[in-house]
Structure 1
Amino acid sequence: MNKNILLITTRNIIENTGESALVNRRSKHLGEVLNSKIDLLIFNKKTRQKNISQLREIKEYQDIIIIGYGLKTIIFNIFQFRKILKRYLKEKNPEKIIVSGVIFSIFIFDLLKKYKKTKVEIIYDMHGCLEELLEYPTKSKLYSRILYMFLKQSEKKVLGISNSVFIVSNEMINYIKEEYGLNLKTYFIPCGIDSEDFNRDYFRKEWRKKLNIKEEEIVCVYSGGTSKWQMIEETIDYYEKNLKKLNMKMLILTKNISKVEKIIQNLNYDSSNYIFKSLNREDVIPALTAADFGIMLRESTLTNKVAFPNKFSEYLKAGLYLILTKNVIEQYRIAKKYNVGFFIEDDKILLLKKLDKVFDKVEQYKKCDLVIKNELDYKNILKIRKIFED
């Protein structure tokens, strides 16, 4: 089933980010399943252009076209973006167009709408909800509100010309209906992982040695950044008040080590019981095997309700017991169904007793592999969902 596929994206899929992990892993397996190559048209910051080597390593990507923009040249770059897309559509005639990222999509909306008259399927790639701008503003509330209103209209327009939507959770189906009044065909593809053989015992031994962790020590890991929605402060507080009592060590894998150390200091905790490490993306999952528990807390917001953080799949790939909240609905469903998670909302005393007794690694690895096979393996998901079957 050979398809001519174009992926247009304004997301940061060039650097080591959660977005790049989702888009690139999915594209790799989409190309394999469909026996197709994917052309990339990227509109992103000029400063990121030098980091495209990891994209060229993905053999499913064919032509990679990057238009870099700068603050002073952005108007010119948008017209350049339009010109290149217009020429591409005329010359290549793609059958499938995936639009990933709403920022700047409004500036190519008319081209896509015009091209839609041909026999093409336009797929909008939705990773989350724009309400994140209001729930977790990174700038002033006024700026976030204005940006939200602009992007909300842009997303509505792009969804209006789309045939279907990639969604990362089933909660998004209702979100699209309620927010936009649209009943589109959806492809449910969570932020998954591959099910290729992975020697957890080997990597566990190797990374425990690298991180100076003794064989008998019990370790909880936090992997991620310091954005408010990732709840790093609450995670540290929960560790100090609960997990530390079980003689657990805390491993923190982050690019923001100094910032996390400052957070610990501001919370009046001692960082001597913590292990910090900054890693390249390819080392993250192998390093996670050094831990026993993976912690991922999220609060009750619309952003989290419809989301599916990559970390959930990565923790399971590493064979970890999960310590979670119940607020990421899709992940709560999976963790409960396969009994791979503990939820902090449950009775604290009973929870701590459970955490203190579960160390059957063989059984946990089996459960993790079953979850990956049934729920998270990209290749399997794409086949089951019959992606792009006419």
Structure 2
Amino acid sequence: MKKVLFITTRNILNTSGELRLIKNRAEAMYNQWGVETDYIVFATEKKSASAILNNIKGDMTIFSLNILKPLTLYNQIIKFKNLVIKILKSNDYQCVILSGIGTLSLVNTIKKYNKNIPVIADIHGADEDIKEFAKNKKISKKVFLHSLYNYSKISELKNLKKMDGIFVVTQALAKYLSKAYSLKAPNYYIVPCALNTKEIDSAAQIEYRKKYRKKYSVSSDEKLFVYSGGVSPWQCIEESIDLFNRLNNLNAGKYKMLILSHHLKEIIPLIKNSPNIITDSVESHEVNKILCAGDYGFLLREDIITNNVAFPNKFLEYVQSGMKIITTPYVYDIAEKVVELEIGIIIGFEKDNVSKLDKFIKSNKQFENWGKRKKVLDSTSFETTLADFIQDYKLN
């Protein structure tokens, strides 16, 4: 059986978007092509791999990193290097994937001990998201994050050109990396986080629509707007609520909004006791069913590099649900698909965005467009997006 070694500093020991992409991608390689993935993980706290391995196939070795304990940190790094050298000499793996800050420089060690093994960089977004995250932090944290940003930029500049291939989540991210680091025609593999299934069961979705509209007291002729996500500034929840309220006021309070989130404590003050906004927090496996109750899904993002090159996981869930998507032009790949396949509307943050959205809603366009939606799910499925990677490195 073919095997891949995955080395990462990303957070894959807790539920996160990073874990979701990495886990689902590896599972697709195993289920579709029989390719196993083993993991070497750097974590800031010591954790057991046993619970994680219930969700991830493959062996996992965890190295604990604590900069406050230099001797322990040094010993962990030595153990890691010895393990990598041993692994590379064994020739048990057909490919190595490097993912997260601090891992890209390992390409030099890997090529030193096994010059023939392909090394792939796994890039989830632009480094500018580190600076965005630092904006509202304390000075000490801000200094640390800016130092981390500078280190990551230098590491990518030095090491991306040495890679045999690069995983990215969007075409926009590939263009960004090529321009930022003057990369000449690298092998990009555009692999966003796909859904577990690319199928659309329209009959089941009709039943879910009835069930959850009844649960949330939404009548069959009412329009329901949905926001599903957290409270991070880049998710624009305040802008989504404001846009809904202005639209609803324009239509004499006839619309309703459903907010699905695990952060209701922070969200409820933003609602200001609006009788037309419903909130709920549910398990992740129920979200896709609830989305079928909606008519329009909010996916607003601001015009920053982090958003420009991103592929929000929520997009495909909205596509599969049948909702029309309300988004901005600033997530480039998403906006392109929404326009091309006519599955939503692109609006900005200008004052006239309400009238533009209102006109769109009242145009009574067909909602589902199941054929076009299935096309999106097919093109972004791991079966499709990983095919070239599997073939190029003879992993099938």
Give the TM-score range, shorter chain: 0.7 to 0.9
Could you report, residue by residue, the CA deviation over 1:244-271 in whole angstroms, capped at 9, with x for unpaired residues? 544222211222111112334xxxx434
Distance 1:130 1:368 in 2: 31
Counterpart position of 1:65: 61
Counterpart position of 1:35: 34
Query: Residues 159, 201 of structure 1: CA spacing in aligned structure 2 closer, same or farther, 3 A cutoff?
Result: same
1:34-113 matched pairs, under 5 angstroms: 34-46=33-45, 49=48, 52-53=51-52, 55-58=53-56, 61-70=57-66, 72-73=68-69, 75=73, 76-91=75-90, 93-102=92-101, 104-105=102-103, 108=106, 110-113=108-111
Asked whether the 8 Å contact 1:321–1:364 carries over to 2, the reply is no
Query: Residues 94, 359 of structure 1: CA spacing in aligned structure 2 closer, same or farther, 3 A cutoff?
Result: same
1:1-390 matched pairs, under 5 angstroms: 3-46=2-45, 49=48, 52-53=51-52, 55-58=53-56, 61-70=57-66, 72-73=68-69, 75=73, 76-91=75-90, 93-102=92-101, 104-105=102-103, 108=106, 110-117=108-115, 119-138=116-135, 139=137, 140=139, 141-183=142-184, 184-193=186-195, 194-198=197-201, 199-243=204-248, 245-246=250-251, 247-264=254-271, 269-345=272-348, 348-358=354-364, 360-361=366-367, 363-373=368-378, 375-383=379-387, 387-390=391-394
Paired amino acid for 2:191:
I
Could you report, residue by residue, the CA deviation over 1:211-241 in whole angstroms, capped at 9, with x for unpaired residues? 4444443211111111121112212211111
Distance 1:229 1:291 in 2: 22
Asked whether the 8 Å contact 1:136–1:229 carries over to 2, the reply is no
Query: Residues 222, 65 of structure 1: CA spacing in aligned structure 2 closer, same or farther, 3 A cutoff?
Result: same
Distance 1:48 1:249 in 2: 43
Asked whether the 8 Å contact 2:307–2:331 carries over to 1, the reply is yes
TM-score (norm 1): 0.86
Cα distance, 1:282 vs structure 2: 2.3
Paired amino acid for 1:25:
N
Query: Residues 79, 284 of structure 1: CA spacing in aligned structure 2 closer, same or farther, 3 A cutoff?
Result: farther
Paired amino acid for 2:109:
L
Asked whether the 8 Å contact 1:8–1:99 carries over to 2, the reply is yes
Paired amino acid for 2:314:
K
Paired amino acid for 2:229:
G
Cα distance, 1:306 vs structure 2: 1.4
Cα distance, 1:95 vs structure 2: 1.2
Asked whether the 8 Å contact 2:7–2:103 carries over to 1, the reply is no
Query: Residues 298, 91 of structure 1: CA spacing in aligned structure 2 closer, same or farther, 3 A cutoff?
Result: same
Could you report, residue by residue, the CA deviation over 1:24-61 in whole angstroms, capped at 9, with x for unpaired residues? 222222223332111122222437647844x5345xx2
Distance 1:159 1:107 in 2: 9
Aligned residues: 378
Cα distance, 1:168 vs structure 2: 1.3
Asked whether the 8 Å contact 1:187–1:387 carries over to 2, the reply is no
Query: Residues 72, 304 of structure 1: CA spacing in aligned structure 2 closer, same or farther, 3 A cutoff?
Result: same
Distance 1:168 1:387 in 2: 19
Could you report, residue by residue, the CA deviation over 1:60-114 in whole angstroms, capped at 9, with x for unpaired residues? x222333344565571444444344333333453111111212x32674553342
Gaps of 5+ in 1: none
Distance 2:229 2:175 in 1: 28
Paired amino acid for 1:112:
I
SS of the counterpart of 2:60? strand
Asked whether the 8 Å contact 2:26–2:36 carries over to 1, the reply is no
Distance 1:336 1:367 in 2: 11
Asked whether the 8 Å contact 1:97–1:121 carries over to 2, the reply is yes
Distance 2:355 2:275 in 1: 26
TM-score (norm 2): 0.85
SS of the counterpart of 1:128? coil
Paired amino acid for 1:356:
K
Identity of aligned residues (%): 30
Gaps of 5+ in 2: none
Asked whether the 8 Å contact 1:223–1:311 carries over to 2, the reply is yes
Query: Residues 281, 7 of structure 1: CA spacing in aligned structure 2 closer, same or farther, 3 A cutoff?
Result: farther
Distance 1:195 1:303 in 2: 27
SS of the counterpart of 1:315? helix
SS of the counterpart of 2:38? strand
Distance 2:293 2:65 in 1: 40
